[in-house]
Amino acid sequence: MNVPMEHALIVATLLFIIGLAGVLMRKNLIYMLLSVEIMLNAAGFAFVVAGAHWMQADGQVMFIFILTMAAAEVSVGLALILRIYHNLKTMNADEVSKIKPN
């Protein structure tokens, strides 16, 4: 392997940190969902790197599972965002969290 495995894992870690920072910093729900996507992608990236390092197909299988999970999560998340926007006319996560069950 010409590229050391550590470098690929560092890239995956950086991507994950960027996604985490996005979730923590942005208040817009769309951006938060996008950042979660970045984090999921980074996790799958780490799996594929490990699978390529040990020449096993298991890493790619795990990535396929992550892909499936991301697709389901995005469909439900976007439906939730649409509903929140329809009811509250806002995309701000802070304003949404003002709703308390009393």
Partner 1 sequence: MTAAFYISSIVAIFSSLMVISRKNAFSALLYMIISLLSVAVIFFVLGAVFVAALEVIIYAGAIMVLFVFVTMMLNLGEEAERLQKTWMRPAVWIGPSILALILGVEVILLITSSESGFLTGSEIGPKEVGIALYGKYIIGVELAALLITAGIVGAYHLGKRKDPIQHRYLQEEKGGAI
**What does the binding site for partner 1 look like in residue numbers (CB under 8 A)?**
1-3, 7-8, 11, 14-15, 18-19, 21-22, 25-26, 28, 30-31, 33-35, 37-38, 41, 45, 48-49, 51-53, 55-61, 63-65, 67-76, 78-83, 85, 87, 91, 99, 102
Judged by beta carbon, residue 11 or residue 93, the one nearer partner 1 is 11
Which two tokens mark 32?
A: 């938060």
Least Å distance, CB 42 to partner 1, is 8
- What DSSP string runs through 26-58? --BHHHHHHHHHHHHHHHHHHHHHHHHHTT-SH
Strand, coil or helix: 73:
helix
